[in-house]
């Protein structure tokens, strides 16, 4: 699995975890939207892993689901996913050190 796939899988798992909180609170997307102030389309994108929530979104989600005790753990998990994404982004950027190292190996190798 590529790094990008790992990040996407982590985002999707995080969204499923938030969805579980919503379902445990017996809320549908529109009810969560009304309680949290987020649009229902944003809720759907977060649950499907297509949009990364902000830390404020996580707090609002937990408040709406009456699960505020889970905020610290969820924010810690969210930050790990952000770190994974940033590492992937930096590694795949043009001129990144990993590519430069590979390039120098190929140009310095004996023929």
Q: How far apart are CA 54 and CA 44, in angstroms?
A: 14
Highest mean pLDDT among 52-61, 77-86, 89-98: 52-61
Token pair 């707090």 in the structure block, residue: 59
Topology adopted by domain 3-93: 434 Repressor (Amino-terminal Domain) (1.10.260)
User: For residue 96, what pLDDT is reported?
Assistant: 64
CA 95 to chain centre: 25
Q: How far apart are CA 20 and CA 23, in angstroms?
A: 5
pLDDT 10s digits, 20-71: 999 999 999 999 999 999 999 999 999 999 999 999 999 999 999 999 999 9
Q: How far apart are CA 107 and CA 111, in angstroms?
A: 10
């Amino acid at each position: 699995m590529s790094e990008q796939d790992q990040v996407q899988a982590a985002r999707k798992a995080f969204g499923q975890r938030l969805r579980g909180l919503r379902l445990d609170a017996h809320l549908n997307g529109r009810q969560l939207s009304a309680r949290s102030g987020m649009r229902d389309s944003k809720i759907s994108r977060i649950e499907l892993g297509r949009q990364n929530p902000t830390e404020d979104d996580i707090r609002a989600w937990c408040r709406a689901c009456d699960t505020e005790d889970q905020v610290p753990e969820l924010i810690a998990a969210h930050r790990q996913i952000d770190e994974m994404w940033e590492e992937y982004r930096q590694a795949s950027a043009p001129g990144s050190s990993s590519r430069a190292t590979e390039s120098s190996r190929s140009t310095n190798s004996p023929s």
